[in-house]
Amino acid sequence: MKGGAAGAIAATVIGAAIVGGCAAFCGTQLGWGHMLSIILLVVLGLCVCLLLFFIVKSARMKSHPVFRRYGSAAVLAQRINEGLRSPCYYAEAMVGNAPFTTLMTDEFIVSGVELVEFMELNDLRSVSVASFVNTHRIVVGDPLMTVASVAANRISDNVIASRGINSQTVFDQITFKDTAGKPHRYGVHRRDIESFFETLSRVAPHIVFEK
């Protein structure tokens, strides 16, 4: 996350420097009232606004509750890497560039899709599970309704995939609630659900199962 923010800021700075140089050249050679000079100045202003946006976004990320609660991104990265060496539960990555789907150790659980969903098991109080089956319904007869149903199925697949699970896989969405009642969701393969809860009851017996 830090690398992504730094890369965006660096790219914006370089772009602003190039546009600024071109604007200065055109302004001094063609005049600041020339159309090209004005366009370049506007683009430069947009680059500056974009730079401020990335800086503010990076600052907000550093103040994310997970970092205030458990330490810096570097600390969490070290704990996750150590947990990957001896996981209690591990679901391999199924979509995108996520390093994994879900990792649980005897101390914490984290989503590989949304790494800020890092939670220590001691801070979780209850867990529930929602089953999902990849079912598509296509409306025939009305061309507009057919197109709409296909689009709805695609959106549904994308939502499922955003949870870190391939849309062609039957899976369960595990929802934990912390001490404040806030939900935290993780994907667990259907084939692993029984062993997952057996492991969870062993490493965190204080977590109550909710139906």
* pLDDT band at residue 137 using 50, 70 and 90 as cut-offs: very low
| pTM of model > 0.85 | no
Higher pLDDT, 71 or 62: 71
**Torsions phi, psi of 181, nearest 5?**
85, 5
Q: Helix or strand or coil: residue 187?
A: strand
| CA-to-CA separations, 65 to 51, 68, 104, 163, in angstroms, rounded | 24, 5, 20, 21
Architecture of domain 66-209: Roll (2.30)
Residue with tokens 């009851």: 201
Q: Which of 63, 159, 65, 171 is nearest to 118 (CA)?
A: 65
Q: Where do runs of H (alpha helix) occur along the chain?
A: 2-30, 35-62, 65-70, 73-85, 143-162, 193-203
Residue 96 tokens read as 């995108």
| Residue 164 pLDDT exceeds 50 | no
* pLDDT band at residue 56 using 50, 70 and 90 as cut-offs: confident
Q: Cα separation of 7 and 54, whole Å?
A: 10
Strands 208-209 and 124-132: parallel
Strand-pairing partners, residue 127, are 176, 209
* pLDDT band at residue 106 using 50, 70 and 90 as cut-offs: very high
Name the average pLDDT for the chain.
Answer: 79
Higher pLDDT, 38 or 154: 38
| Residue 101 pLDDT exceeds 70 | yes
Domain ranges of the chain: 2-62, 66-209
Residue 142 tokens read as 């009305």
Which amino acid belongs to residue 68? R
